[in-house]
Structure 1
Amino acid sequence: MAARPALVSQTEIKRTLQAALSAGLRIGRVEVDHATGRVVVFPEGAAAQTAGPDPDELLR
């Protein structure tokens, strides 16, 4: 069984980061979802978003 090609390549990630840097963005974090091919660049100092409600609050 042959390996399937990646949806997002290292070259595409590199191009994305270079474009963000050349636009003056200070990169804080990068998320790559290899299942969908999605690359998300977060600027430096951006607050992390939660994926849902706080589980501790749900238990109260």
Structure 2
Amino acid sequence: MPRKRPTFSQTDLTRALKATKAAGLKVGRIELTDDRIVIHSASDAPAGPDSTYDTWKAKRDARSA
């Protein structure tokens, strides 16, 4: 089954991000679905690491070389 094309383009995403930054908001995360772009501000993002990958990366970078 062929993959369905999104109804928005990369240009639409770029415009949405620029508008968010122009409004004075920090981008916390972006959710993309087939028919919409959802931008969450940084204040909506969790305070701690976003994922298990971020936790692993923080521990890995904390080791002395």
- TM-score normalised according to structure 2 size: 0.57
- The 3 A distance-change label for structure 1 pair 24 and 5 is same
Same amino acid, percent of matched pairs: 34
Structure 1, unmatched stretches of 5+, are 49-60
Runs of 4+ in 1 over 4 A off after TM superposition: none
The residue aligned with 1:21 is 21
Residue 43 of structure 1 deviates from its aligned partner by 0.6
Residues 19-60 of structure 1 show CA distances to partners (whole Å, capped at 9, x for unaligned) of: 0000001000000102xx210000103156xxxxxxxxxxxx
Query: Aligned residue pairs: how many?
Result: 44
Structure 2, unmatched stretches of 5+, are 47-65
The residue aligned with 2:30 is 30
Which of structures 1 and 2 has the larger relative contact order (alpha carbons within 8 angstroms, sep 6+)? 1
- The structure with more helix, counted as a fraction of residues: 2
- TM-score normalised according to structure 1 size: 0.61
